[in-house]
Amino acid sequence: MPATKPFDLSVYVITDSRLSRGRSNLTVIKEAIAGGATCIQLREKDLPTGQLFHAAEALRELTLQKGITFIVNDRLDVALAVEADGVHLGRDDLPVAAARRIMPPEMILGVTARNVQQALQFQEAGASYLGVGAVFATFTKGNTGKPIGLHGLAEIVQRVKIPVVGIGGIKAQNAGDVVSAGAGGVAVVSAVVSVVDVAGATRDVARAVYAARSQQRG
Amino acid sequence: MPATKPFDLSVYVITDSRLSRGRSNLTVIKEAIAGGATCIQLREKDLPTGQLFHAAEALRELTLQKGITFIVNDRLDVALAVEADGVHLGRDDLPVAAARRIMPPEMILGVTARNVQQALQFQEAGASYLGVGAVFATFTKGNTGKPIGLHGLAEIVQRVKIPVVGIGGIKAQNAGDVVSAGAGGVAVVSAVVSVVDVAGATRDVARAVYAARSQQRG
């Protein structure tokens, strides 16, 4: 595994402009950072490259100012062009090993995994962390199949060496369980970006994460 | 301008699987190369990244075997991942200077330009060649505005130092005029990929290009 720059998956907020009540990603993410987001992922599947580049540029500037890790979903070219901290690859994106080959070694490579076999394969191919799920039922990403549950998440965490962030149907009420199952953090989309009070919703998720973590330690 | 690897724009064939009568890009491009294509561009705007990567991988292998220049449209990440010879950027793609910054200096950077101002700007930003048009009316790329004509093409050719390939509504019947106007080659889509005899259609375009070029010299 390459030595990447440090990153903190604790409260990992993913954009979805379709769910953001007409607010720009920049507006929403400013609020999320105010509420305690530790990592931001720009995920926009339907923008032309040029528009995605400009959206990424704005979030890169903001996250640099705030000292927050910034990841671009799918588009490694855009991630490279704006000097994002990393890229996150899902099932329909570049093969993990192919992406790793053309990335600077310090750049973070996140990969979505649904089961132990994928998790081990992607770790081997150079993933820096895994997004594992869907932990709970969700509609944010379209049809993502049957949730793997906290048990499925825990199984993967136990088998890999790299950090795991839980994703799928996570909100303040169940974020603690995800951390207790061994995840290094929780990824949230609609629980944060679709609500009126983005900062408040992020704060609730962050509290749940840190409470569960201090219980683990205590 | 960075020193890129050599390339030959003479007969520049661009894929469009929607126009290819159900044949794969690989099948069509094999025929085009047999007919004399000197440069291939993979242009598929609607494929998920993973599928585009696999399509690009197959064309990269073929073009390497045949010693033909291979360019990927828009997706610099895919171009880098399959070690394409270059990338071609249009209006909605990455900014030219941003792309150039993250490209190996020897990699070819093609850019679409519609007028002298854009042409000079993109040359300055690091373009290796320009795709200039639409020279004639075309429906292949959707609404591309009023054609610039042979006069508009000639004006741009005279103002830039980098090679220019004409694009838009070009077929065997008018390819010679495009070369006589100063273009280093012609880019064709539907004239080649949408017909039954792809090799024959490519051969006709190639003959027109080389005939016009030998007239210029003669």
Q: A102, B77: Cβ pair inside 8 Å?
A: yes
Percent pLDDT > 70 in chain B is 97
- Average pLDDT rounded to a whole number, residues B183-196: 96
- Gap between the Cα atoms of B192 and B188, Å rounded: 6
Q: Dump pLDDT digits (tens) for A57-67.
A: 999 999 999 99
A95 and chain B: CB distance < 8 Å anywhere? yes
Stretch B73-99: mean pLDDT? 98
At residue B99, the pLDDT reads: 98
Task: Say if domain A11-217 classifies as CATH 3.20.20.70.
Answer: yes
A8 touches chain B (CB under 8 A): no
Q: How many beta carbons lie within 10 A of that of residue B196, not counting itself?
A: 8
- B47–A contact, CB cutoff 8 A: no
Q: Is B81 on the interface with A (CB under 8 A)?
A: yes
Identity (one letter) of the amino acid at B183?
Answer: A
CB-based contact B94 A75, cutoff 8 Å: no
Q: Do A99 and B81 touch (CB under 8 A)?
A: yes
**Contact assignment for B102 to A81 by CB distance below 8 Å:** yes
In DSSP notation, B84-103 reads -SEEEE-TTS--HHHHHHHS
Amino acid letter, residue B84: A
Instruction: Measure A99 CA to nearest chain B CA, in Å.
Output: 7
| DSSP annotation of B35 | T
Residue A73: closest C-alpha in chain B: B49
pLDDT one-digit tens code per residue, A5-48: 999 999 999 999 999 999 999 999 999 999 999 999 999 988 99
Could you tell me if A44 and A53 are in contact, meaning their C-beta atoms sit under 8 angstroms apart? no
Question: Taking 70 as the threshold, does the pLDDT of residue A140 lie above it?
Answer: no
Mean pLDDT in residue range A106-112: 98
- Give the 3-state DSSP-derived string for B162-196, with helices as H, strands as E and coil as C: CCEEEECCCCHHHHHHHHHCCCCEEEECHHHHCCC
Domains in chain B: boundaries = 11-217
**According to the model, what pLDDT value does residue A216 have?**
86
Q: What is the mean pLDDT of residues A182-197?
A: 96
Residue carrying the six token digits 């987001």: A37
Peptide bond connecting A55 to the previous residue in cis, omega within 30 degrees of 0: no
| Of residues A87 and A216, more confidently modeled | A87
pLDDT of residue B3: 80
CB atoms within 10 A of CB B108: 24
Summarised one tens digit per residue, pLDDT across range B193-206 is 999 999 999 999 99
In B, which residues are within 8 Å of A93 by CB distance?
48-50
A217 pLDDT band, cuts 50/70/90, is: confident
